[in-house]
Structure 1
Amino acid sequence: MNVMTTSTPGPASPAPGPVRRDAEATKAAILRAVRYLLARHAYADITLKAVAERAGVSAPLILKYFGNKDALFERVMSFEADAEALLDAPLASLGRHMVRHVLESQSQQRGDPLLRIVFAPLQGERGDVLRENFRTQVSDRLARRLEGPDAGLRAELAVSTLLGLGAMYGIVRGPHLRATSVTDIADRYAPAVQTHLTP
């Protein structure tokens, strides 16, 4: 005769499942994915599926947070938050901060706070919005911080110097640049930016 034994079950362990993500972190990941794609593709060619794959989320979750593709892309047409971080340093050391910020954004976060403006011509009418936002939120904002003559010109020269570096690092992917430390590049390149800020 078989005797069946029973054991007292221990505390139930939680069932395995997807790791819950903080809502704000998820939104930030989605916005980073859109910025990345917008800096490489025309708006019409970017699908929610592509954004979702890059962000590591589902397309329905994007719709839950942002409503639709147009609303999502309206968020990344703004450079306000990017400019806040890019210009967050005293004027005397701002050139170095800006160079480091552009390079670290690309090397560590896989994004660039400025680079999507380079692709404005691909974006049709949205390109006009990108250009206007970039001028008012980045170049003009920087110009207001500068002292002395030609502040607007100097701000645009400083920003264009950064854009060149960002394009060579992030789009061309120059092997010598990418093999060099951010600190070394900043040592060499920041003076070229700073000379427009505090001539």
Structure 2
Amino acid sequence: MSAVNTAPGTPPPPSTGSPSPASSGASAAPARRDAEATKTAILRAARHLLARHAHADITLKAVAERAGVSPPLVLKYFGNKDALFARVMSFEEDAAALLDAPVEELGRHMVRHVVAGQRERGADPVLRIVFAPLHGDHGDILRANFRTQVAEPLAARLGGPDARLRAELALATLIGLGVMFGIARGEELRAMSVEEIVDHYGPTVQAQLTP
């Protein structure tokens, strides 16, 4: 077996091979995941602040500090404060997941979605509507979005009389659960498992959906 002799202290020649496609793809995927995680953290921070401060008092710097990122990164992903809070004040994506079940199973699904969201992701799909009075004209936007993106699509799925009223009553029941779990932090409620809460509370919501 022959060997290549090099002088002591001489570094080996640099590799001339290019990275394999597999290794390039492996590095790109974590970058995409990191970007999504960063955007999620920024949105969560903005929601947190929106629930505690008036819209006019919230700065991008405060959002960035809460999310653990730099303000320029917030601008990179969302453009400006108005664009960021337009996302935060929209219920469209949350409503799609909240209503993603057959009507006859929707009460249990909605309860599970709210409680699991608060417990596992620190996010409630609809609870931010209760903070609308904090935000002046932006509160009107929040209310309008809630009506057109959550209440009206739910009402459209319900048959029978008084569909709009029943949709609002079902959502009121669901928001009450979110307030007790996430804001009042009821001890007995929070000691239950998600499925125990679903078993207790799902029929209460369902009673408005399919009377």
Short-chain TM bin: 0.7 to 0.9
**Residues 6 and 39 of structure 1: is their aligned pair in 2 closer, same or farther, counting only changes over 3 Å?**
same
Q: Distance in 2 between matches of 1:11 and 1:145?
A: 65
Q: 1:7 and 1:173 mapped to 2: Cα distance?
A: 66
Native 8 Å contact 1:77 1:130 kept in 2:
yes
1:7 is displaced (CA, Å) by 6.7
The amino acid that maps onto 1:178 is: R
Corresponding residue of 1:16 = none
Question: Match of 1:110, as an amino acid?
Answer: G
Displacement after TM superposition at 1:111 (Å): 1.0
Q: Partners in 2 of 1:190 and 1:167 — Cα distance? A: 16
Aligned to 1:15: none
In the alignment, structure 1 residue 6 sits paired with structure 2 residue 6: no
Alignment CA distance shift 1:58-1:194 (3 Å): same
Q: Deviation string for 1:45-99 (max 9, x for gaps)?
A: 3222222233232111001121211221112111111100100011111001000
Matched, 1:90 2:93: no
Q: Deviations over 1:131-178 (max 9, x none)?
A: 011011111110000010000000000000000000111111111111
Q: How far is 1:122 from its partner?
A: 0.3
Q: CA deviation at 1:10?
A: 10
In structure 2, the partner of 1:172 is 184
Cα separation, 2, equivalents of 1:171 and 1:9? 63
C-alpha distance in 1 between matches for 2:186 and 2:53: 20
Give matches, 1:180-199, under 5 Å.
180-199=192-211
Separation (CA, whole Å) in 1 of partners of 2:9 and 2:173:
74
Corresponding letter in the other structure for 1:164: G
The 5 Å alignment of 1:72-111 reads 72-111=84-123
Which secondary structure does the structure 1 equivalent of 2:111 belong to? helix
**Runs of 4+ more than 3 Å apart:** 7-12, 19-22
1:54 to 57, 66, 82: 66
Q: CA-to-partner distance for each residue in 1:77-127, whole Å, 9 max, x for gaps?
A: 111111001000111110010001011111111111111100000000000
Amino acid at match of 1:58: S
The separation in 2 between residues aligned to 1:193 and 1:11, in whole angstroms, is 67
| Deviating more after overlay: 154-163 vs 55-64 | 55-64
> What is the deviation of 1:179?
1.3
- Tell me the matched-pair count: 190
Q: Matches of 1:132 and 1:73 in 2, distance apart?
A: 14
The answer to whether the 8 Å contact 1:36/1:110 transfers is no
What is the TM-score normalised by the length of structure 2? Answer: 0.83
Look up the equivalent residue of 1:179 and give its one-letter code: A
User: How many angstroms apart in 2 are the aligned matches of 1:75 and 1:179?
Assistant: 32
Q: Which segments of 5 or more consecutive residues in structure 2 lack a partner in the other structure?
A: 1-7, 16-29
1:43 partner amino acid: H
Question: How far has the Cα of 1:9 moved from its partner?
Answer: 6.3
Letter in 2 for 1:53: E
Quick one: distance in 2 between partners of 1:166 and 1:10?
63
Contact conserved, 1:39 with 1:117, CA < 8 A, in 2?
no
The answer on whether the counterparts of 1:30 and 1:62 sit within 8 Å (CA) in structure 2 is yes
Distance 2:80 2:161 in 1: 45
TM-score, normalised to structure 1, is 0.88
